[in-house]
């Protein structure tokens, strides 16, 4: 004779459909709660990266100004014309002389810089654009270009450097 502990129920070998549906519904509810929190943390990380990149670029631009008496790209770099993206990049990523002429190696006259570790402009994290629009308006309180292209905007008369998107231009 079998004891009560060892009896098997032949009709109860697995989970019922209702039990499985309840588990799936509970998992869906938990996912609906957790997924938006991960999305918000990703946006927060992008904003923090944007703030850090802005601060680093502004520091590099200010240091360049302190050493040269003008902002990057205000004059050419010896190869590229004034107000150009290439002049801005080279003046911040290479060694420069007092006039802003840039070259890859340091010597007696090219004693300033480099101000950036890489040769390119850092990517703006909110739109993943490394585009840079250089303007010469000389007006403080510069705003993003219409259409919100993303990337960066720089006024080489005032030294103002902003995110070229209306949602973040006031940072």
CB 122 within 8 A of CB 53: yes
- pLDDT at residue 2 in the model: 53
Residue 171 inside a domain? The answer is no
> For the range 62-67, what are the long-range contacts, defined as Cβ-Cβ under 8 Å and sequence gap of 24 or more?
62/159, 63/115, 64/91, 64/92, 64/96, 64/112, 64/113, 64/115, 65/159, 67/98, 67/112
Residue 8 inside a domain? The answer is no
- pLDDT at residue 24 in the model: 92
Residue 11 inside a domain? The answer is no
- pLDDT at residue 136 in the model: 92
Positions of the chain with pLDDT under 70: 1-12, 37-40
- Here the tokens at position 65 are 């100004």
* Domain that includes residue 73, residue range: 17-163
- CA 60, CA 116: separation in Å to the nearest integer? 7
Q: DSSP letters along 55-68, please?
A: HHHHHHHHHHHHHH
Q: Which of 107, 111, 155, 109 is nearest to 132 (CA)?
A: 155
Domain count, the chain: 1
Residue 4 inside a domain? The answer is no
Residue 65 inside a domain? The answer is yes
Find the helix packing angle between 17-68 and 85-93, rounded to 10°. Answer: 80
- Report CA 93 to chain centroid distance, whole Å: 18
Residue 169 inside a domain? The answer is no
pTM above 0.85, yes or no: no
- pLDDT at residue 72 in the model: 95
- pLDDT at residue 26 in the model: 92
Residue 3 inside a domain? The answer is no
User: What is the tens place of the pLDDT at every residue in 37-80?
Assistant: 666 677 788 889 899 999 999 999 999 999 999 999 998 888 88
- pLDDT at residue 16 in the model: 87
Residue 152 inside a domain? The answer is yes
Q: Which of 114, 112, 57, 121 is nearest to 84 (CA)?
A: 121
């Amino acid at each position: 004779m079998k004891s009560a502990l060892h009896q098997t129920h032949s009709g109860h070998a697995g989970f019922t459909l209702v039990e499985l549906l309840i588990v799936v519904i509970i998992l869906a509810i938990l996912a609906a709660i957790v997924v938006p929190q991960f999305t918000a943390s990703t946006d927060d990380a992008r904003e923090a990266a944007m703030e850090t990149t802005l601060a680093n670029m502004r520091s590099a631009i200010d240091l360049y100004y302190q050493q040269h008496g003008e902002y990057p790209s205000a004059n050419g770099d010896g190869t590229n014309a004034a107000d150009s993206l290439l002049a801005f990049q080279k003046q911040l990523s290479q060694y420069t002389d007092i006039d802003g002429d840039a070259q890859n190696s340091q010597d007696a006259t090219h004693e300033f810089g480099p101000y950036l570790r890489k040769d390119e402009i850092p990517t703006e994290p909110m739109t993943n654009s490394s585009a840079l629009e250089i303007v010469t308006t000389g007006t403080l309180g510069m705003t993003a270009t219409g259409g919100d292209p993303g990337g960066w905007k720089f006024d080489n008369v005032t030294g103002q450097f902003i995110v070229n998107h209306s949602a973040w231009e006031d940072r």
